[in-house]
Amino acid sequence: MRARMAIAVSQQRCELREVVLAHKPSELLKASPKGTVPVLVLADGTVIDQSIDIMTWALQAHDPEDWLPRTEQDWERTHTWIAHNDGPFKQALDRYKYPHRYALPDGLSQRTEGAEFLKTLNAVLRSQAYLAGQQFGMADAVLAPFVRQFAHTDALWFAQQPWPALQTWLTQFEQSPTYLRTMDKIPAWTAGQPVRVFPLVDS
């Protein structure tokens, strides 16, 4: 989701192939043997198979909404957010959302672990509109999809937490045009079927 958003904002155009990971097409494995998504194959054959790298590639090509951090300090702060989000928080999220996959009776302990990170985000958002500062940026785009997953695992519980700044930030993200247009559901692609050109520019 975050890779798609960055590509959309940067106004790059690509062929979008939705895949079902339980039935990975050979084309996916040929491009990236690790078999995870997203995978971006450039015109020259270069393969980028990490979402943060895809975001950076797209935004360095064109960044009309100024998502990329401007200073070295901003980059360091963004990388700190990413490291914690994609590391400890993602681990807690997976176990909270799917406890039985990890032989856990429930995910409540992991929910408590993840909540500590959300408290930190809420504290930051009490003093500024976005994690990136006064406008939505890369840090927000990177973290928001995962915060959304955490929130929707038990929406009632999330709504009851004393995190008004975080809850407002998440609602704004979910209602943003960029998020909504990248959430379009499309059928899974199989070999031989036409591919969809990603709708990066409003018609």
Which pLDDT value is given to residue 200?
A: 42
pLDDT given at position 189: 84
Six-digit token string for 76: 């360091």
Residue 201 within a domain: no
Q: Is residue 125 part of a domain?
A: yes
pLDDT at 203: 39
Mark whether 58 and 99 lie in a shared domain: no
Based on the domain organization, do 97 and 157 belong to the same domain?
A: yes
Write out the DSSP string of the chain: -HHHHHHHHHT---EE----GGG--HHHHHH-TT--S--EE-TTS-EE--HHHHHHHHHHH--TT--S--SHHHHHHHHHHHHHIIIIIHHHHHHHH-GGGGT-S-SHHHHHHHHHHHHHHHHHHTTSSBTTBSS--HHHHHHHHHHHHHHHHTHHHHHTSS-HHHHHHHHHHHTSHHHHHH----PPP-TTSPPEEP--S--
Domain shared by 84 and 60, yes or no = no
Residue 11's CATH number: 3.40.30.10
Q: Are residues 88 and 150 in the same domain?
A: yes
The answer to whether residues 47 and 34 touch, using CB atoms and an 8 Å cutoff, is no
Note whether residue 58 is domain-resident.
yes
Q: Is residue 200, in this structure, part of any structural domain at all?
A: no
Q: What is the CATH number of the domain that holds 139?
A: 1.20.1050.10
41 and 83 both lie in a single domain: no
pTM for the model = 0.91
Pair 34, 131 in one domain: no
Could you read off the pLDDT tens digit of each residue along the chain, which spans 203 residues? 999 999 999 999 899 998 888 889 899 999 999 999 999 999 999 999 999 999 999 999 999 999 999 999 999 999 999 999 999 999 999 999 999 999 999 999 999 999 999 999 999 999 999 999 999 999 999 999 999 999 999 999 999 999 999 999 999 999 999 899 888 778 888 877 877 787 544 43
Instruction: Pick the closest to residue 38 from 61, 60, 65, 15 (CA basis).
Output: 15
For the chain, the domain total comes to: 2
Task: Assess whether 52 and 79 both reside in one domain.
Answer: no
Host domain of residue 135 = 72-177
Q: Is 76 found in the same domain as 27?
A: no
In a domain, 32, yes or no: yes
At residue 66, the pLDDT reads 96
Residues 171 and 94 in one domain: yes
